[in-house]
């Protein structure tokens, strides 16, 4: 290339150099360093709110009802977008990753990941079993907005039947403090759970207990002992009667009846019959003499948060249900209906007519989850009631559900 050409085309030289660099870059092999940039700081709402709350990983015989329950312990809804449920081997490697859907979990609400048939399951995992039985193993939540496991940021973790070593790239260990001793699988419906929901001291052994499981509902702090009622009646009634009569007259010169009539009757009651009857209490909302209720309520509670009182309830089944009305304690009179807002849809509902009721979502074969907020509660302990109203306007009241004033959302 001549000096005259270079002088004449000096303005083109930077462009030619850039084109050459681009061509070389296109020929270069891809490298791991060119993946998406590492994730930024963990979303504050997720870090402060989302917990592994309850786990069933071992049952007598085949494990056919496994689940992991998550809980939003924060003061506002939190999105599960970018969050994954991680199942961790005893050597610290992840053996399964379950990305969660882009849904908003309301404050004080639960989200259940489990196999089909688990009560209140929200996200169904294929198969009949998906969680390993420990010695040790672990479960964790990770925030991964890039979708690349190398960018996992730990949200919460549980190690059971020992301490699982290591941890994700960012955020901590698979074991918080000391791992929990775990579940021996001796009883159905028994597993590991926090009490109260969301309580977290960063020590798995202290935060979880082996208790009766309540997927998708408030945790309990008692072992799972199924109630039984047995009535036993024993009746003994056998009668044996024996009658003997003897008459021996003797007729002679002197007529003397030597043996008067003799009769003997001996009843002997000796028999036994043992009927046995078992009785089981009827569930809440069972049909009554007046006809079936519009709604069978599974669980309900009121939780005071920074932004108000959140009422959360689940129905088992709904029949001819027109919707729900919420009532609040009135110190000067009977409970009164109040205006509330549906946390799932953001729609506000007035206190009065059927048109203002919280819309029903369940049917006769399956219930639904509801979460609403009373955004202007009095600054005192309050009680709440939920009324379901059927299509004929008949109301059935459930409650009361207490919301203590001295138990606001705990700071983290």
**pTM of the predicted model, to two decimals?**
0.52
Helix spans in 214-305 (H): none
Residue 388 confidence (pLDDT): 92
Q: Looking at the domain assignment, is residue 327 inside a domain? A: yes
Instruction: Indicate the residue among 163, 190, 212 that finishes a domain.
Output: 212
Which pLDDT band, with edges at 50, 70 and 90, does 102 fall under?
very high
Share of the chain above pLDDT 70, in %: 69
Decide if pLDDT at 273 tops 80.
no
CB atoms closer than 10 angstroms to residue 145: 15
Residue 272 confidence (pLDDT): 42
Output the CA torsion sign for 397, 361, 321, 389: positive
Q: Looking at the domain assignment, is residue 328 inside a domain? A: yes
Q: Looking at the domain assignment, is residue 268 inside a domain? A: no
Parent domain of 396: 295-403
Residue 229 confidence (pLDDT): 37
The residue with greater pLDDT, 309 or 6, is 309
CATH number at residue 357: 2.60.40
Q: Looking at the domain assignment, is residue 313 inside a domain? A: yes
Lowest mean pLDDT among 31-45, 98-112, 130-144, 398-412: 31-45
pLDDT digits (tens, 9 = 90+) for 288-304: 334 456 788 877 778 77
Residue 43 confidence (pLDDT): 65
The answer to whether 60 and 188 are in contact (CB under 8 A) is: yes
Q: C-alpha distances in angstroms, 248 versus 256, 260, 264, 265?
A: 10, 7, 16, 19
Decide if pLDDT at 9 tops 60.
no
The answer to whether 403 and 304 are in contact (CB under 8 A) is: yes
Statement to judge: residues 61 and 159 lie in one domain = yes
Q: Hunting for tokens 């196999």 — which residue is that?
A: 115
Q: What mean pLDDT comes out for the span 171-196? A: 89
Statement to judge: residues 203 and 327 lie in one domain = no
Decide if pLDDT at 323 tops 80.
yes
Which pLDDT band, with edges at 50, 70 and 90, does 377 fall under?
very high
Which residues make Cβ contacts (< 8 Å) with residue 10, sequence separation at least 6? none
Residue 354 confidence (pLDDT): 58
Q: What mean pLDDT comes out for the span 74-85? A: 90
CATH number at residue 207: 2.60.40.1260
Q: What mean pLDDT comes out for the span 325-349? A: 87
Instruction: Indicate the residue among 185, 212, 239 that finishes a domain.
Output: 212
DSSP, res 288: B
Residue 139 confidence (pLDDT): 98
Q: Looking at the domain assignment, is residue 409 inside a domain? A: no
Q: Looking at the domain assignment, is residue 283 inside a domain? A: no
Q: How far apart are CA 393 and CA 321, in angstroms?
A: 9
CB atoms closer than 10 angstroms to residue 34: 7
Statement to judge: residues 64 and 184 lie in one domain = yes
Residue 292 confidence (pLDDT): 53
Q: Which of 195, 192, 150, 155 has its CA nearest to residue 172? A: 155
Statement to judge: residues 58 and 189 lie in one domain = yes
Give the DSSP per-residue string, 155-169.
EEEEEESSPPP---S
User: How do the residues of the chain divide into helix, strand and coil, expressed in percent and rounded to 5?
Assistant: 10, 40, 50
Decide if pLDDT at 343 tops 60.
yes
The residue with greater pLDDT, 145 or 246, is 145
Residue 404 confidence (pLDDT): 81
Decide if pLDDT at 221 tops 70.
yes
Statement to judge: residues 161 and 305 lie in one domain = no
Which pLDDT band, with edges at 50, 70 and 90, does 26 fall under?
very low
Residue 17 confidence (pLDDT): 47
pLDDT digits (tens, 9 = 90+) for 103-140: 999 888 999 999 999 999 999 999 889 999 999 999 99
Statement to judge: residues 313 and 206 lie in one domain = no
Statement to judge: residues 205 and 310 lie in one domain = no
Decide if pLDDT at 30 tops 70.
no
Lowest mean pLDDT among 183-187, 188-192, 233-237, 244-248: 233-237
Q: What mean pLDDT comes out for the span 230-237? A: 35
Statement to judge: residues 164 and 54 lie in one domain = yes
The answer to whether 398 and 300 are in contact (CB under 8 A) is: yes
Decide if pLDDT at 381 tops 60.
yes
Which pLDDT band, with edges at 50, 70 and 90, does 328 fall under?
very high
Statement to judge: residues 198 and 299 lie in one domain = no
The answer to whether 144 and 84 are in contact (CB under 8 A) is: yes
Helix spans in 71-228 (H): 204-207
The residue with greater pLDDT, 360 or 250, is 360
Q: Looking at the domain assignment, is residue 58 inside a domain? A: yes
Residue 224 confidence (pLDDT): 65
Instruction: Indicate the residue among 154, 185, 212 that finishes a domain.
Output: 212
- Collapsing DSSP states into helix, strand and coil, what is residue 410? coil
Q: What mean pLDDT comes out for the span 262-275? A: 44
Q: How many domains does the chain have?
A: 2
Q: Which of 358, 400, 404 has its CA nearest to residue 381? A: 404
Statement to judge: residues 60 and 206 lie in one domain = yes
Which pLDDT band, with edges at 50, 70 and 90, does 353 fall under?
low
Q: C-alpha distances in angstroms, 267 versus 262, 263, 271, 311?
A: 17, 13, 12, 69
CB atoms closer than 10 angstroms to residue 267: 9
Q: Looking at the domain assignment, is residue 233 inside a domain? A: no
Q: Hunting for tokens 């983290």 — which residue is that?
A: 412
Statement to judge: residues 179 and 62 lie in one domain = yes
Average pLDDT taken over every residue of the chain: 75
Residue 128 confidence (pLDDT): 85
Strands 67-72 and 208-212: unpaired
Statement to judge: residues 304 and 199 lie in one domain = no
Q: What mean pLDDT comes out for the span 164-181? A: 93
């Amino acid at each position: 290339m001549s000096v005259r050409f270079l002088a004449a085309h000096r303005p083109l030289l930077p462009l030619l150099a850039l084109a050459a660099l681009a061509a070389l870059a296109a020929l270069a092999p891809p490298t791991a360093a060119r993946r998406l940039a590492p994730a930024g700081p963990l979303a504050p709402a997720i870090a402060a709110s989302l917990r592994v709350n309850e786990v069933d990983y071992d049952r007598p015989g085949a494990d056919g009802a496994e689940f992991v329950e998550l809980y939003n312990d924060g003061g506002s809804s939190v999105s599960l977008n970018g969050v994954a449920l991680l199942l961790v081997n005893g050597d610290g490697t992840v053996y399964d990753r379950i990305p969660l859907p882009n849904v908003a979990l309301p404050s004080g609400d639960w989200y259940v990941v489990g196999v089909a048939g688990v009560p209140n399951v929200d996200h169904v995992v294929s198969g009949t079993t998906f969680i390993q039985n420990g010695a040790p193993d672990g479960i964790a939540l990770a925030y991964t907005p890039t979708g690349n496991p190398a960018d996992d940021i730990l949200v919460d973790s549980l190690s059971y039947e020992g301490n699982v070593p290591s941890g994700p790239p960012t955020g901590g260990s698979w074991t918080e403090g000391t791992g929990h001793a775990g579940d021996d699988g001796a009883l159905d419906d028994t597993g590991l759970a926090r009490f109260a929901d969301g309580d977290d001291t960063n020590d798995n052994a202290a935060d979880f207990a082996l208790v009766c499981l309540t997927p998708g509902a408030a945790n309990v702090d008692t072992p799972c002992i199924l109630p039984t009622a047995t009535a036993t009646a024993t009746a003994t009634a056998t009668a044996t009667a024996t009658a003997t009569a003897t008459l021996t007259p003797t007729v002679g010169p002197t007529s003397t009846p030597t043996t008067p009539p003799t009769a003997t009757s001996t009843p002997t009651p000796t028999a036994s019959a043992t009927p046995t009857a078992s009785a089981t209490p009827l569930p809440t909302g069972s049909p009554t003499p007046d006809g079936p209720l519009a709604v069978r309520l599974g669980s309900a509670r009121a939780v005071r948060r920074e932004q108000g009182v959140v009422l959360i309830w689940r129905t088992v089944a709904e029949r001819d249900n027109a919707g729900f009305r919420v009532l609040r304690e009135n110190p000067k009179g009977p409970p009164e209906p109040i205006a509330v807002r549906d946390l799932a849809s953001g729609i506000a509902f007035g206190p009065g007519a059927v048109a203002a009721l919280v819309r029903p979502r369940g049917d006769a074969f399956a219930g639904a989850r509801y979460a609403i907020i009373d955004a202007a509660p009095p600054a005192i302990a309050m009680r709440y009631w939920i009324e379901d109203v059927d299509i004929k306007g008949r109301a059935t009241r459930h409650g009361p559900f207490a919301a203590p004033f001295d138990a606001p959302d705990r700071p983290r």
